[in-house]
């Protein structure tokens, strides 16, 4: 996060005595990235932030990954995926590699356990629903279309106000605006499709008093992704003030201003975030190419260095009738396979002035593997949809691609 924020009660000088009205010292914590060499915040706690009284194994849901072998483009129907109702513990793994894991969960309205991800930042796309995310920095409101960015090791919990469809993109790194959108000092530049006004961080502190509070921690060992349940002597939401450039925030896709062109613009103009070895883009309703001979749908493309995951989150799917792709679908177009529109869709797109669809895309620079949740809802006919026939010889649906 590029810019400074101060919330609640902080002393005028860092690393100096800061006391409550009774004269007791607050406990200062620096939460910082990349050692002491990148963004950080200073938090002032009532209790000791390291005071734990128990540590036990938290058994994570199935994290098995199955290689995409033999190589195929895939279509996964997330709306057919049944999940438990907890925003944290009932996430099912859809796709993943050693840089990022993509999950899916349909929540109820009970709050999640307290939780933090010690592996990397989380970028949770809210497909449907609303509520709040309570964090050690304060409370974020969330609604459909939000990306909720929760920095690594931020203690938080999800409190859905209504059942919510969440698409967690869990990084093994940090998630931030692309560097090319930023000035050398970190301000979002004029050519960026969004600016600081669109990023919504906590505005006030959030304090809870209790003792022996369990926090689920996702972390890594040589055995891969694992979980631990830590019990804290006092409630971790005891921060009376904080300041700095590291904190959770939300960004809504409605605040993303798509960049359009006279001819087809490549996916990087639709980028919203980047992590290590992956990017997040969104394709949103927009005017399309205005050259008199333009072809609005994409050319075939072979992203030789990446796997491409499209999650179709909104819009009019009339144009895809019969394709199998619809709201809640994921398409995985892996490196080593050229993809693009079904041939008839090219002619059908000529003269079109506006695209209505919304999709969230994750491009990874290492191959993705299928999680158990992805395998459970795969449409086996998709790989043959461009040819119109597969190994069984039957007809397969046509594809119309936005990316």
What residue ranges bind Fe ion (CB under 5 A)? Answer: 308, 403
Give the nearer residue to Fe ion in terms of CB position, either 107 or 403: 403
- Residue nearer to Fe ion on the CB measure, 329 or 403: 403
- Closest CB 359 distance from Fe ion, rounded Å: 10
Give the largest CA-CA distance in the chain.
Answer: 80
Q: Of 334 and 374, which CB lies nearer to Fe ion in the complex structure?
A: 334
Per residue in 241-261, is it b (16+ CB within 10 Å) or e — as a string?
bbbbbbbbbbbbbebbebeee
The least CB distance from residue 284 to Fe ion, in Å, is 16
Task: Return the residue nearest Fe ion (CB atom).
Answer: 403
Residue 361 beta carbon to Fe ion: minimum distance, rounded to whole angstroms = 8
Nearer to Fe ion, 140 or 360 (CB): 360
CB of 325 to Fe ion, least distance (A): 13
In whole angstroms, the minimum distance from the beta carbon of 403 to Fe ion comes to: 4
Of 170 and 308, nearer to Fe ion (C-beta) is 308
As measured in angstroms, the least distance from the Cβ of 59 to Fe ion is 37
Residue closer to Fe ion (CB basis): 250 or 403 = 403
Q: How far apart are CA 32 and CA 200, in angstroms?
A: 20
Torsion sign over Cα 31, 33, 36, 38: negative
At 178, list the tokens: 């692309």
Q: Report, in Å, the least distance between residue 399 CB and Fe ion.
A: 11
CB of 276: closest distance to Fe ion in angstroms? 21
Is the CB of 165 or the CB of 339 nearer to Fe ion? 339
Closer residue to Fe ion in complex, CB, 152/333: 333
- Our CB check for Fe ion shows the closer of 46 and 320 to be 320
Beta bridge partners of 281: 271, 361
Q: For the CB of residue 26, give the shortest distance to Fe ion in the complex, in Å.
A: 51
């Amino acid at each position: 996060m590029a810019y400074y924020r101060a919330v609640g009660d902080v002393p005028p000088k860092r690393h100096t005595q800061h006391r409550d009205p009774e004269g007791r010292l607050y406990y200062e914590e620096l939460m910082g990235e990349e050692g002491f060499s990148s963004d950080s915040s200073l938090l002032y706690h009532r209790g000791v932030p390291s005071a734990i009284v128990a540590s036990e194994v938290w058994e994570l849901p199935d994290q098995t990954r199955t290689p995409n072998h033999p190589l195929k483009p895939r279509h996964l129907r997330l709306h057919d995926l049944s999940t438990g109702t907890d925003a944290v513990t009932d996430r099912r793994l859809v796709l993943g590699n050693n840089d990022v894991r993509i999950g899916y969960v349909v929540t109820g309205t009970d709050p999640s356990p307290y939780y933090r991800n010690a592996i990397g930042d989380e970028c949770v796309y809210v497909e449907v629903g609303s509520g709040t995310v309570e964090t050690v920095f304060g409370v974020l409101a969330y609604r459909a279309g939000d990306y909720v960015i929760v920095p690594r090791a931020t203690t938080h919990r999800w409190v859905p106000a209504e059942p919510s469809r969440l698409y967690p993109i869990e990084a093994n790194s940090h998630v931030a605006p692309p560097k090319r959108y930023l000035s050398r000092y970190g301000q979002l530049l004029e050519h960026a499709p969004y600016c600081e006004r669109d990023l919504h961080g906590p505005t006030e502190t959030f304090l809870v008093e209790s003792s022996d509070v369990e926090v689920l921690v996702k972390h890594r060992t040589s055995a891969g992704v694992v979980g631990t349940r830590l019990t804290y002597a006092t409630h971790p939401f005891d921060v009376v003030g904080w300041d700095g450039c590291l904190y959770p925030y939300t960004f809504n896709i409605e605040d993303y201003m798509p960049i359009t062109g006279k001819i087809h613009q490549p996916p990087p103009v639709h980028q919203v975030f980047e992590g290590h070895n992956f990017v997040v883009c969104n394709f949103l309703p927009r005017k399309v190419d205005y050259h008199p001979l333009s072809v609005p749908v994409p050319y075939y493309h072979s992203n030789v260095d990446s796997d491409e995951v499209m999650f179709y989150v909104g819009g009019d799917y009339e144009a895809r009738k019969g394709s199998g792709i619809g709201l809640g679908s994921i398409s995985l177009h892996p490196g080593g396979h050229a993809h693009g529109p079904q041939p008839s869709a090219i002619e059908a797109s000529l003269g079109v002035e506006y695209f209505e669809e919304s999709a969230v895309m994750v491009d990874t620079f290492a191959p993705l593997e299928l999680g158990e949740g992805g395998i459970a809802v795969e449409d086996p006919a998709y790989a043959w949809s461009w040819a119109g026939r597969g190994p069984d010889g039957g007809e397969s649906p046509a594809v119309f691609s936005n990316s």
